[in-house]
Structure 1
Protein backbone atom coordinates (compact mmCIF):
# COMPACT_ATOMS: atom_id res chain seq x y z
CA UNK A 1 0.00 0.00 0.00
CA UNK A 2 1.37 3.38 -1.03
CA UNK A 3 1.27 5.77 1.91
CA UNK A 4 0.23 9.41 1.75
CA UNK A 5 3.21 11.55 2.73
CA UNK A 6 2.18 14.48 4.92
CA UNK A 7 3.74 17.68 6.25
CA UNK A 8 2.03 19.59 9.07
CA UNK A 9 2.62 23.36 9.46
CA UNK A 10 0.94 24.57 12.65
CA UNK A 11 2.01 27.25 15.17
CA UNK A 12 0.30 25.73 18.19
CA UNK A 13 2.72 23.05 19.42
CA UNK A 14 0.10 21.14 21.41
CA UNK A 15 -2.23 21.04 18.42
CA UNK A 16 0.62 20.19 16.05
CA UNK A 17 1.75 17.27 18.19
CA UNK A 18 -1.83 16.06 18.57
CA UNK A 19 -2.44 16.14 14.81
CA UNK A 20 0.77 14.23 14.13
CA UNK A 21 -0.03 11.61 16.77
CA UNK A 22 -3.47 11.08 15.26
CA UNK A 23 -2.15 10.82 11.70
CA UNK A 24 0.58 8.36 12.64
CA UNK A 25 -2.06 5.88 13.78
CA UNK A 26 -3.36 5.57 10.22
CA UNK A 27 -1.80 2.78 8.17
CA UNK A 28 -1.95 4.77 4.92
CA UNK A 29 -0.37 7.98 6.30
CA UNK A 30 3.27 8.91 6.86
CA UNK A 31 4.05 12.20 8.61
CA UNK A 32 7.39 13.13 7.07
CA UNK A 33 7.77 16.38 9.03
CA UNK A 34 6.00 18.90 11.26
CA UNK A 35 6.91 22.58 11.60
CA UNK A 36 5.80 25.85 13.09
CA UNK A 37 6.03 28.71 10.61
CA UNK A 38 9.30 30.03 12.04
CA UNK A 39 11.29 26.89 11.19
CA UNK A 40 9.59 25.93 7.92
CA UNK A 41 11.69 26.32 4.78
CA UNK A 42 9.87 25.57 1.48
CA UNK A 43 13.16 24.24 0.08
CA UNK A 44 12.75 21.25 2.40
CA UNK A 45 9.90 19.98 0.23
CA UNK A 46 12.38 18.86 -2.42
CA UNK A 47 13.91 16.44 0.07
CA UNK A 48 10.76 15.45 1.98
CA UNK A 49 8.57 14.94 -1.13
CA UNK A 50 5.13 15.26 0.54
CA UNK A 51 1.87 14.48 -1.23
CA UNK A 52 -0.17 16.77 1.02
CA UNK A 53 0.68 19.78 3.20
CA UNK A 54 -1.63 20.61 6.13
CA UNK A 55 -1.32 24.36 6.70
CA UNK A 56 -2.66 26.51 9.53
CA UNK A 57 -4.52 29.46 7.99
CA UNK A 58 -3.52 31.83 10.81
CA UNK A 59 0.25 31.53 11.06
CA UNK A 60 2.07 33.99 13.32
CA UNK A 61 5.27 34.85 11.46
CA UNK A 62 4.40 34.03 7.85
CA UNK A 63 1.44 34.94 5.67
CA UNK A 64 -0.40 31.69 4.99
CA UNK A 65 -1.68 32.89 1.60
CA UNK A 66 1.82 33.87 0.47
CA UNK A 67 3.04 30.47 1.58
CA UNK A 68 0.32 28.71 -0.43
CA UNK A 69 1.29 30.69 -3.53
CA UNK A 70 4.94 29.78 -3.01
CA UNK A 71 4.16 26.09 -2.51
CA UNK A 72 1.86 25.87 -5.53
CA UNK A 73 4.24 27.77 -7.81
CA UNK A 74 7.34 25.76 -6.92
CA UNK A 75 5.77 22.38 -6.11
CA UNK A 76 2.75 21.96 -8.35
CA UNK A 77 2.25 18.28 -7.50
CA UNK A 78 1.89 18.98 -3.77
CA UNK A 79 -1.69 19.43 -2.59
CA UNK A 80 -2.41 21.95 0.17
CA UNK A 81 -5.13 21.70 2.81
CA UNK A 82 -5.82 24.74 4.99
CA UNK A 83 -6.83 24.28 8.63
CA UNK A 84 -8.90 26.89 10.49
CA UNK A 85 -11.80 27.24 12.91
CA UNK A 86 -14.14 28.98 10.48
CA UNK A 87 -12.59 30.80 7.51
CA UNK A 88 -14.30 33.90 6.15
CA UNK A 89 -15.82 33.65 2.68
CA UNK A 90 -13.19 36.08 1.38
CA UNK A 91 -10.44 33.84 2.77
CA UNK A 92 -11.96 30.80 1.07
CA UNK A 93 -12.06 32.62 -2.27
CA UNK A 94 -8.47 33.79 -2.00
CA UNK A 95 -7.09 30.43 -0.92
CA UNK A 96 -8.97 28.47 -3.58
CA UNK A 97 -7.74 30.89 -6.24
CA UNK A 98 -4.21 30.34 -4.92
CA UNK A 99 -4.56 26.60 -5.47
CA UNK A 100 -5.67 25.16 -2.12
CA UNK A 101 -7.37 21.79 -2.58
CA UNK A 102 -9.23 21.50 0.71
CA UNK A 103 -10.24 22.98 4.03
CA UNK A 104 -10.33 21.30 7.42
CA UNK A 105 -12.27 22.93 10.22
CA UNK A 106 -10.50 22.55 13.56
CA UNK A 107 -13.80 21.48 15.10
CA UNK A 108 -14.28 18.70 12.52
CA UNK A 109 -14.52 15.15 13.79
CA UNK A 110 -11.47 12.91 13.44
CA UNK A 111 -13.33 10.94 10.79
CA UNK A 112 -14.02 14.09 8.75
CA UNK A 113 -10.41 15.21 9.18
CA UNK A 114 -9.00 11.94 7.84
CA UNK A 115 -11.60 11.70 5.07
CA UNK A 116 -10.67 15.15 3.78
CA UNK A 117 -6.97 14.28 3.58
CA UNK A 118 -7.65 11.07 1.66
CA UNK A 119 -10.10 12.78 -0.69
CA UNK A 120 -7.72 15.65 -1.49
CA UNK A 121 -4.86 13.23 -2.09
CA UNK A 122 -7.14 11.43 -4.56
CA UNK A 123 -7.69 14.67 -6.46
CA UNK A 124 -10.95 15.96 -4.98
CA UNK A 125 -11.68 19.54 -3.90
CA UNK A 126 -13.04 19.73 -0.35
CA UNK A 127 -14.66 22.97 0.80
CA UNK A 128 -16.19 23.97 4.14
CA UNK A 129 -19.82 22.75 4.38
CA UNK A 130 -21.12 26.32 4.41
CA UNK A 131 -19.26 27.07 1.18
CA UNK A 132 -20.24 24.13 -0.99
CA UNK A 133 -22.53 24.28 -3.98
CA UNK A 134 -21.79 27.11 -6.35
CA UNK A 135 -18.63 28.43 -4.69
CA UNK A 136 -16.33 27.71 -7.62
CA UNK A 137 -18.77 29.41 -9.97
CA UNK A 138 -18.89 32.36 -7.58
CA UNK A 139 -15.10 32.50 -7.67
CA UNK A 140 -15.13 32.75 -11.44
CA UNK A 141 -17.82 35.44 -11.37
CA UNK A 142 -15.78 37.30 -8.77
CA UNK A 143 -12.71 36.96 -10.97
CA UNK A 144 -14.47 38.34 -14.03
CA UNK A 145 -15.67 41.36 -12.07
CA UNK A 146 -12.47 42.06 -10.15
CA UNK A 147 -9.73 40.92 -12.52
CA UNK A 148 -11.35 41.13 -15.93
CA UNK A 149 -11.59 38.17 -18.34
CA UNK A 150 -7.99 38.42 -19.58
CA UNK A 151 -6.36 38.15 -16.14
CA UNK A 152 -8.91 35.56 -15.09
CA UNK A 153 -8.02 33.27 -17.99
CA UNK A 154 -4.34 33.77 -17.19
CA UNK A 155 -4.89 32.96 -13.51
CA UNK A 156 -6.42 29.54 -14.19
CA UNK A 157 -3.71 26.89 -14.15
CA UNK A 158 -3.83 25.12 -17.51
CA UNK A 159 -1.43 23.05 -19.54
CA UNK A 160 -0.26 24.43 -22.89
CA UNK A 161 -2.49 21.89 -24.62
CA UNK A 162 -5.53 23.04 -22.62
CA UNK A 163 -4.80 26.67 -23.52
CA UNK A 164 -4.55 25.65 -27.17
CA UNK A 165 -7.92 23.90 -27.00
CA UNK A 166 -9.52 26.91 -25.27
CA UNK A 167 -8.39 29.06 -28.20
CA UNK A 168 -9.77 26.62 -30.76
CA UNK A 169 -13.10 26.41 -28.92
CA UNK A 170 -13.20 30.21 -28.97
CA UNK A 171 -12.70 30.05 -32.75
CA UNK A 172 -15.79 27.87 -33.01
CA UNK A 173 -14.23 24.46 -33.69
CA UNK A 174 -16.08 21.33 -32.58
CA UNK A 175 -14.32 18.54 -30.69
CA UNK A 176 -13.93 16.46 -33.85
CA UNK A 177 -12.36 19.40 -35.70
CA UNK A 178 -10.00 20.09 -32.80
CA UNK A 179 -8.98 16.42 -32.74
CA UNK A 180 -8.18 16.53 -36.47
CA UNK A 181 -6.28 19.83 -36.24
CA UNK A 182 -4.15 18.73 -33.26
CA UNK A 183 -3.80 15.10 -34.38
CA UNK A 184 -5.46 13.82 -31.21
CA UNK A 185 -8.17 11.26 -30.60
CA UNK A 186 -11.68 12.58 -29.99
CA UNK A 187 -11.58 10.98 -26.54
CA UNK A 188 -8.40 12.88 -25.65
CA UNK A 189 -9.99 16.16 -26.72
CA UNK A 190 -13.11 15.42 -24.67
CA UNK A 191 -10.92 14.71 -21.66
CA UNK A 192 -9.13 18.06 -22.09
CA UNK A 193 -12.45 19.89 -22.45
CA UNK A 194 -13.72 18.23 -19.27
CA UNK A 195 -10.60 19.38 -17.40
CA UNK A 196 -10.97 22.93 -18.73
CA UNK A 197 -14.61 23.08 -17.64
CA UNK A 198 -13.62 21.82 -14.20
CA UNK A 199 -10.77 24.32 -13.79
CA UNK A 200 -12.88 27.26 -14.96
CA UNK A 201 -15.96 26.15 -12.99
CA UNK A 202 -18.07 26.23 -16.16
CA UNK A 203 -20.70 23.87 -17.53
CA UNK A 204 -20.56 24.11 -21.33
CA UNK A 205 -18.17 24.68 -24.24
CA UNK A 206 -20.16 27.80 -25.10
CA UNK A 207 -19.22 29.31 -21.74
CA UNK A 208 -15.55 28.56 -22.45
CA UNK A 209 -15.83 30.39 -25.77
CA UNK A 210 -17.57 33.37 -24.15
CA UNK A 211 -14.88 33.72 -21.48
CA UNK A 212 -12.05 33.26 -23.98
CA UNK A 213 -13.45 35.77 -26.48
CA UNK A 214 -14.13 38.29 -23.72
CA UNK A 215 -10.47 38.02 -22.73
CA UNK A 216 -9.21 39.05 -26.15
Structure 2
Protein backbone atom coordinates (compact mmCIF):
# COMPACT_ATOMS: atom_id res chain seq x y z
CA UNK A 1 0.00 0.00 0.00
CA UNK A 2 1.13 3.56 -0.67
CA UNK A 3 2.32 5.08 2.63
CA UNK A 4 0.60 8.10 4.15
CA UNK A 5 2.91 11.07 3.59
CA UNK A 6 3.13 13.27 6.69
CA UNK A 7 4.60 16.74 7.26
CA UNK A 8 5.33 17.85 10.84
CA UNK A 9 5.02 21.58 11.63
CA UNK A 10 6.11 22.69 15.10
CA UNK A 11 8.44 25.41 16.36
CA UNK A 12 10.04 23.10 18.94
CA UNK A 13 12.85 20.95 17.55
CA UNK A 14 12.40 18.24 20.17
CA UNK A 15 8.70 17.92 19.37
CA UNK A 16 9.38 17.59 15.64
CA UNK A 17 12.08 15.02 16.25
CA UNK A 18 9.92 13.07 18.68
CA UNK A 19 6.98 12.86 16.31
CA UNK A 20 9.35 12.13 13.44
CA UNK A 21 10.91 9.21 15.29
CA UNK A 22 7.51 7.80 16.24
CA UNK A 23 5.99 8.09 12.79
CA UNK A 24 9.13 7.01 10.96
CA UNK A 25 9.02 3.66 12.75
CA UNK A 26 5.40 3.00 11.79
CA UNK A 27 4.69 0.86 8.70
CA UNK A 28 2.45 2.65 6.23
CA UNK A 29 3.49 6.17 7.28
CA UNK A 30 6.31 8.22 5.76
CA UNK A 31 7.54 11.52 7.20
CA UNK A 32 8.33 13.61 4.12
CA UNK A 33 9.40 16.82 5.83
CA UNK A 34 9.32 19.20 8.76
CA UNK A 35 8.61 22.90 9.25
CA UNK A 36 9.41 25.17 12.19
CA UNK A 37 6.68 27.76 11.56
CA UNK A 38 3.52 28.31 9.59
CA UNK A 39 5.12 30.08 6.65
CA UNK A 40 7.55 27.21 6.14
CA UNK A 41 4.69 24.72 6.50
CA UNK A 42 2.78 26.39 3.66
CA UNK A 43 5.87 26.33 1.45
CA UNK A 44 6.70 22.73 2.29
CA UNK A 45 3.15 21.57 1.57
CA UNK A 46 3.34 23.18 -1.87
CA UNK A 47 6.72 21.54 -2.45
CA UNK A 48 6.15 18.07 -0.99
CA UNK A 49 2.38 17.51 -1.36
CA UNK A 50 1.92 15.58 1.92
CA UNK A 51 -1.30 13.74 2.66
CA UNK A 52 -1.50 14.86 6.29
CA UNK A 53 0.06 17.78 8.16
CA UNK A 54 0.58 17.68 11.92
CA UNK A 55 0.16 21.39 12.64
CA UNK A 56 1.05 23.08 15.91
CA UNK A 57 -1.45 25.85 16.67
CA UNK A 58 0.92 28.27 18.39
CA UNK A 59 4.03 29.13 16.39
CA UNK A 60 5.90 32.43 15.98
CA UNK A 61 5.29 34.50 12.87
CA UNK A 62 2.65 32.74 10.80
CA UNK A 63 0.80 30.54 13.29
CA UNK A 64 -0.89 27.22 12.71
CA UNK A 65 -4.35 28.65 12.12
CA UNK A 66 -3.27 31.04 9.37
CA UNK A 67 -1.08 28.35 7.83
CA UNK A 68 -4.04 25.96 7.84
CA UNK A 69 -6.21 28.60 6.18
CA UNK A 70 -3.62 29.13 3.44
CA UNK A 71 -3.05 25.42 2.86
CA UNK A 72 -6.70 24.35 2.72
CA UNK A 73 -7.66 27.43 0.70
CA UNK A 74 -5.10 26.84 -2.05
CA UNK A 75 -6.44 25.68 -5.44
CA UNK A 76 -6.56 21.90 -5.62
CA UNK A 77 -5.69 21.53 -1.93
CA UNK A 78 -5.69 17.90 -0.77
CA UNK A 79 -3.61 17.89 2.41
CA UNK A 80 -5.55 17.15 5.60
CA UNK A 81 -4.61 19.15 8.69
CA UNK A 82 -4.45 17.60 12.15
CA UNK A 83 -3.88 20.37 14.67
CA UNK A 84 -1.79 19.84 17.79
CA UNK A 85 -2.70 21.61 21.02
CA UNK A 86 -1.04 21.81 24.41
CA UNK A 87 -4.25 22.03 26.43
CA UNK A 88 -7.60 20.31 25.97
CA UNK A 89 -9.97 22.65 24.12
CA UNK A 90 -7.25 25.17 23.45
CA UNK A 91 -8.78 28.62 22.94
CA UNK A 92 -7.64 28.52 19.31
CA UNK A 93 -9.02 25.08 18.50
CA UNK A 94 -12.36 26.28 17.14
CA UNK A 95 -10.63 28.84 14.91
CA UNK A 96 -8.42 26.06 13.60
CA UNK A 97 -11.41 23.93 12.68
CA UNK A 98 -13.03 26.91 10.96
CA UNK A 99 -9.82 27.43 9.01
CA UNK A 100 -10.15 23.94 7.52
CA UNK A 101 -8.49 21.55 9.95
CA UNK A 102 -9.95 18.06 10.11
CA UNK A 103 -9.42 17.68 13.83
CA UNK A 104 -7.18 18.34 16.78
CA UNK A 105 -5.17 16.27 19.22
CA UNK A 106 -3.26 16.95 22.41
CA UNK A 107 0.52 16.90 22.04
CA UNK A 108 0.80 14.31 24.79
CA UNK A 109 -1.68 11.95 23.13
CA UNK A 110 -0.73 8.25 23.38
CA UNK A 111 1.18 7.11 20.27
CA UNK A 112 -1.53 4.67 19.23
CA UNK A 113 -4.19 7.38 19.25
CA UNK A 114 -2.02 9.73 17.20
CA UNK A 115 -1.38 7.06 14.59
CA UNK A 116 -5.10 6.23 14.45
CA UNK A 117 -5.91 9.94 14.07
CA UNK A 118 -3.52 10.33 11.15
CA UNK A 119 -5.10 7.37 9.40
CA UNK A 120 -8.59 8.69 10.13
CA UNK A 121 -8.05 12.15 8.66
CA UNK A 122 -6.26 10.62 5.68
CA UNK A 123 -9.33 8.49 4.98
CA UNK A 124 -11.60 11.54 5.15
CA UNK A 125 -12.94 11.25 8.69
CA UNK A 126 -12.79 13.99 11.30
CA UNK A 127 -10.84 13.50 14.49
CA UNK A 128 -13.25 15.15 16.88
CA UNK A 129 -15.35 12.73 18.86
CA UNK A 130 -19.05 13.61 19.29
CA UNK A 131 -18.55 14.23 23.01
CA UNK A 132 -15.66 16.55 22.23
CA UNK A 133 -17.75 18.32 19.60
CA UNK A 134 -20.38 19.05 22.23
CA UNK A 135 -17.81 20.43 24.67
CA UNK A 136 -16.10 22.44 21.96
CA UNK A 137 -19.33 24.09 20.89
CA UNK A 138 -20.40 24.75 24.47
CA UNK A 139 -17.07 26.47 25.05
CA UNK A 140 -17.09 28.53 21.89
CA UNK A 141 -20.82 29.17 21.37
CA UNK A 142 -20.39 32.89 22.25
CA UNK A 143 -18.25 33.17 19.09
CA UNK A 144 -21.12 31.90 16.95
CA UNK A 145 -24.14 33.82 15.63
CA UNK A 146 -27.40 33.29 17.48
CA UNK A 147 -29.17 32.20 14.32
CA UNK A 148 -32.44 33.28 12.78
CA UNK A 149 -35.65 31.79 11.43
CA UNK A 150 -33.95 30.62 8.21
CA UNK A 151 -30.38 29.59 7.33
CA UNK A 152 -28.42 32.38 5.65
CA UNK A 153 -26.49 30.16 3.28
CA UNK A 154 -28.13 29.44 -0.07
CA UNK A 155 -26.19 26.19 -0.43
CA UNK A 156 -27.98 24.78 2.62
CA UNK A 157 -31.28 25.25 0.77
CA UNK A 158 -30.10 22.63 -1.75
CA UNK A 159 -30.32 19.93 0.90
CA UNK A 160 -33.34 17.69 1.10
CA UNK A 161 -35.47 17.77 4.23
CA UNK A 162 -33.84 14.56 5.45
CA UNK A 163 -30.34 15.88 4.77
CA UNK A 164 -31.09 19.04 6.73
CA UNK A 165 -32.36 16.89 9.56
CA UNK A 166 -29.17 14.82 9.53
CA UNK A 167 -27.05 17.99 9.37
CA UNK A 168 -28.75 19.40 12.47
CA UNK A 169 -28.09 16.18 14.39
CA UNK A 170 -24.45 16.14 13.29
CA UNK A 171 -24.19 19.73 14.54
CA UNK A 172 -25.53 18.62 17.92
CA UNK A 173 -22.58 16.22 18.21
CA UNK A 174 -24.37 12.94 17.48
CA UNK A 175 -22.45 10.06 15.93
CA UNK A 176 -23.76 8.23 12.85
CA UNK A 177 -25.00 5.43 15.10
CA UNK A 178 -26.86 7.85 17.36
CA UNK A 179 -28.39 9.61 14.37
CA UNK A 180 -29.49 6.25 12.96
CA UNK A 181 -31.24 5.43 16.23
CA UNK A 182 -32.89 8.84 16.42
CA UNK A 183 -34.21 8.73 12.84
CA UNK A 184 -34.83 4.97 12.70
CA UNK A 185 -32.43 4.52 9.80
CA UNK A 186 -29.53 2.19 9.16
CA UNK A 187 -26.08 3.52 9.97
CA UNK A 188 -25.10 3.00 6.32
CA UNK A 189 -27.99 5.22 5.22
CA UNK A 190 -26.90 7.94 7.63
CA UNK A 191 -23.36 7.71 6.29
CA UNK A 192 -24.74 8.15 2.77
CA UNK A 193 -26.69 11.24 3.84
CA UNK A 194 -23.59 12.72 5.49
CA UNK A 195 -21.60 12.07 2.32
CA UNK A 196 -24.20 13.86 0.20
CA UNK A 197 -24.21 16.81 2.60
CA UNK A 198 -20.44 17.10 2.30
CA UNK A 199 -20.64 16.96 -1.49
CA UNK A 200 -23.47 19.47 -1.87
CA UNK A 201 -21.93 21.96 0.54
CA UNK A 202 -18.36 21.38 -0.67
CA UNK A 203 -17.15 20.56 2.85
CA UNK A 204 -14.22 18.38 3.88
CA UNK A 205 -15.69 16.53 6.87
CA UNK A 206 -18.33 16.56 9.59
CA UNK A 207 -16.40 19.14 11.62
CA UNK A 208 -17.00 21.62 8.82
CA UNK A 209 -20.66 20.55 8.77
CA UNK A 210 -20.91 21.51 12.45
CA UNK A 211 -19.29 24.89 11.90
CA UNK A 212 -21.50 25.74 8.90
CA UNK A 213 -24.68 24.66 10.67
CA UNK A 214 -23.99 27.14 13.46
CA UNK A 215 -22.69 29.91 11.23
CA UNK A 216 -25.75 29.82 8.99
CA UNK A 217 -28.24 29.65 11.86
CA UNK A 218 -29.49 26.17 10.98
CA UNK A 219 -28.70 25.30 14.59
CA UNK A 220 -28.51 27.76 17.44
CA UNK A 221 -25.67 28.00 19.93
CA UNK A 222 -26.64 25.55 22.65
CA UNK A 223 -27.45 22.74 20.22
CA UNK A 224 -31.11 23.32 19.36
CA UNK A 225 -32.55 23.83 15.88
CA UNK A 226 -33.26 27.40 14.80
CA UNK A 227 -36.90 28.34 14.97
Contact 1:57-1:64 at 8 Å conserved across structures: yes
Confirm whether residue 109 of structure 1 aligns to residue 118 of structure 2.
Answer: no
Q: CA RMSD in A?
A: 3.9
Residue in structure 2 matched with residue 67 of structure 1 by the alignment: 67
Residue in structure 2 matched with residue 201 of structure 1 by the alignment: 210
TM-score normalised by the chain length of structure 2: 0.63
Contact 1:143-1:149 at 8 Å conserved across structures: no
Residue in structure 1 matched with residue 157 of structure 2 by the alignment: 167
Give the aligned length.
Answer: 180
Pairwise CA distance, 1:104: 1.8
Q: How does 1:1-216 map to 2 (within 5 A)?
A: 1-37=1-37, 40=40, 42-74=42-74, 76-88=77-89, 90-127=91-128, 131-133=132-134, 135=136, 143-145=144-146, 150=152, 153=153, 163=155, 166-169=156-159, 192-193=196-197, 196=201, 198=206, 199-201=208-210, 211=218
Greater Rg by CA: 1
Pairwise CA distance, 1:55: 0.8
Q: Deviation string for 1:153-195 (max 9, x for gaps)?
A: 38xxxxxxxx3xx4345xx8899xxxxxxxxxxxxx9552475
State how far apart, in whole Å, the 2-side matches of 1:132 and 1:174 are: 22
Deviates more, 1:23-32 or 1:73-82: 73-82
Deviates more, 1:70-79 or 1:128-137: 128-137
Contact 1:9-1:36 at 8 Å conserved across structures: yes
Q: Deviation string for 1:83-141 (max 9, x for gaps)?
A: 12215454222111111112121121111111111111111111379724464698789
State how far apart, in whole Å, the 2-side matches of 1:9 and 1:140 are: 29
Residue in structure 1 matched with residue 183 of structure 2 by the alignment: none
Pairwise CA distance, 1:53: 0.5
Structure 2 unaligned regions, length at least 5: 164-191, 219-227
Pairwise CA distance, 1:57: 1.2
TM-score normalised by the chain length of structure 1: 0.66
Relative contact order, higher structure (CA 8 A, sep 6+)? 2
